[in-house]
Amino acid sequence: MSGAGRRRASIRLMLPLALAGGAVLVVAAILLSQRTAESAPAQPIAFSHRTHAEAEIQCLFCHPNALRSDVAGMPSVERCAGCHRTIATTRRRIQTVLGYWERGEPIPWQPINKMADFVFFSHQPHLAAGVGCETCHGDVGKMNAARQVVNMDMGWCLNCHLKQPETAVARLTDCLACHK
């Protein structure tokens, strides 16, 4: 076989392999971009949302900023100490919480759900429209460690906005609704 013939045969072998490899990379990139977080970020204290939900503590008790500001935020150490100065005070985790409170230090909680910097998001209109916390955050009340359950990207948000009453869709899908 001549040199040109070997090159053509080599290309015939390499081309399908390169295309298959490229397809695998594209599929992997799509899956990775759409995946949901499967584990919770490490937190300074092992906090159980399940325990608090079983005690019938509502999300907004610990995250009241969702009603009055753009972000729900993390509970302040004062909020935690408000209950735990008298509840479960002998438990090691609670003693850690109270240690932060006594030192006047905030608990360095790690955010679980983050929006991109170019996205404007406020919990207020969503709560006012009756959207429950679990719609976006999953059934946190059954989680020991809270974790992100959906990839809150533009497609995911638009999918929900497009399901709203027809009279609201134009307003909810306007770019400026989320990008200020």
The model scores a pTM over 0.75: no
Residue type, 41: P
- Residue 94 pLDDT: 96
Can you tell me which residue has the tokens 């935690």?
A: 80
CA distance between the termini of the chain: 65
Residue 125 C-beta-side C-alpha neighbours within 13 Å: 9
pLDDT (tens, 9 = 90+) of the chain, 180 residues, equals 666 666 666 667 666 666 665 555 544 444 444 444 456 789 999 999 999 999 999 999 999 999 888 788 899 999 999 999 999 999 999 999 999 999 999 999 998 988 888 999 999 999 999 999 999 999 999 998 889 999 999 999 999 999 999 999 999 999 999 998
- Residue 40 pLDDT: 78
CA angle in degrees (0–180, nearest 5) for 116-119-120: 135
Domain ranges of the chain: 1-35, 38-74+109-177
Rounded Cα gap, residues 80 and 27, in angstroms: 44
